[in-house]
Amino acid sequence: MRVAKVLVIAGSDSGGGAGIQADIKTLNSIGVFAMTAITSLTAQNTQGVSGILDVPGKFLKKQIQTVMEDIGADAVKTGMLSNRDIIEVVVEGVKKYRIKNLVVDPVMKSQTGYDLIKTDAKRVLVERLLPFALIVTPNRLEAEELASMEIRNKRDIKKAMKRIKEKGPEWVLIKGGHFKDDYAVDYLYDGDKIYKIKSERVDTENTHGSGCTYASAIAGYLAKGFDVLTAVRKAKRFIYGAIKNSLSIGKRKGPVNHFWKVR
């Protein structure tokens, strides 16, 4: 029996709702074997991030090498990459192991506004990592950063997608959670056509980890052999269910429910 495998290169969330913890839960829930290379440790909960400790680049490199040279991966998903050294290590690994199914979630801020990437590292992420991405999955604020423009309407979304596509990824997915539409509409672009991936909008504040979860689900379905459009559509259904069944845990923004499908 073939086992689909995903290596997640991202930061740890001590609160369990986002980051590596969300990635593992998501992949396990959809029947994919999850492996990890941890980039940073964060002290955080539903109220916010209170501290970050980055893993040295040499040790991150060892994590990636140890996993890839034994188990291998059908897809790789990146999340929090907080500094230039970490990003360069990831780029080196992607090139060395010829990673094709690379999902880049350009994590820049926590939902509570904490900076998760250093200013000088943003340029390195765009110039060095995005050209290797099969798909990049920014939310509205991250898309504005990557495209160097403000996004106010659908015309701006189209322009931003084209600008981000020019940075090198094969596909661009701008998530619609931060827009004010009646439906949660995500925009997927392959350089030729824009696909609208839609679901009902869920009225809840408990969305902690939604971005990590969505991107990991995409990576998981790619690892299972689905094409990009199908993987995104299936991941959209998964994140909708996770938000609809989200958990009221903690004192502020609770996490999405990664196990809603299993239960």
Residue 256 counted as domain residue: no
pLDDT of amino acid 180: 72
Torsion of CA 152, 157, 163, 164, to 10 degrees: 110
Encode pLDDT of 49-90 as tens digits: 999 999 999 999 999 999 999 999 999 999 999 999 999 999
pLDDT of amino acid 195: 97
Residue 252 counted as domain residue: no
Residue 229 counted as domain residue: yes
Phi-psi region of 3 (alpha: psi -120 to 50; beta: other; left: phi over 0): beta
Residue 117 counted as domain residue: yes
- Domain containing 22 — which CATH number? 3.40.1190.20
Number of domains in the chain: 1
**pLDDT mean over 131-140:** 97
Of the candidates 12, 107, 19, 109, the one whose C-alpha atom is nearest the C-alpha of residue 52 is 12
For residues 39 and 80, is the Cβ–Cβ distance under 8 A? yes
Residue 216 counted as domain residue: yes
Tokens of 117: 């990437």
Residue 251 counted as domain residue: no
Residue 208 counted as domain residue: yes
Range of the domain at 168: 5-244
For residues 118 and 87, is the Cβ–Cβ distance under 8 A? no
For residues 133 and 102, is the Cβ–Cβ distance under 8 A? yes
Whole-angstrom Cα distance, residue 192 to residue 99? 24
Residue 263 counted as domain residue: no
Whether the per-residue pLDDT at 177 is higher than 80: the answer is: no
Encode pLDDT of 27-43 as tens digits: 999 999 999 999 999 99
pTM over 0.95: yes
